[in-house]
Amino acid sequence: MEISDLQDAMRATYGERDAARGRDATFRWLIEEVGELARALRTGDRDNLVHEFGDVLAWLASLANLEGVDLREAVNRYSRGCPKCGELPCGCDPR
């Protein structure tokens, strides 16, 4: 699935519900899912990791839809390497 397909699917599936919930509540749901991902990372349960990564991406797509942000455009800044130094792999000072 392409990222634009995900965003379209989230809009078709949850667009009205997301709009009714609003940006702030949708953002809080995203943060809750990030917390669940953090717990899954601590346990290392592969199935749960896949589930939680999916949830984080889904909520991020919903929030982007509410804000009118095309995730394909947003992520494009990383398509040619590090957006800061322009290198691939990144040559920035890790400090």
Q: Which domains can be identified in the chain, with CATH numbers? A: 3-78 (1.10.287.1080)
Q: What is the mean pLDDT of the chain?
A: 96
Per-residue pLDDT tens for 28-63?
Answer: 999 999 999 999 999 999 999 999 999 999 999 999
**Spatial separation of the C-alpha atoms in residues 55 and 33, rounded to whole Å:** 6
What pLDDT score does 95 carry? Answer: 84
What is the residue whose two structure tokens read 């519900």?
17
Task: Judge contact between 71 and 3, C-beta under 8 A.
Answer: yes
Task: Judge contact between 56 and 30, C-beta under 8 A.
Answer: yes
Task: Judge contact between 83 and 77, C-beta under 8 A.
Answer: yes
What pLDDT score does 25 carry? Answer: 98
Tokens of 21: 């919930």
| Average pLDDT score over residue span 2-25 | 97
Task: Judge contact between 75 and 3, C-beta under 8 A.
Answer: yes
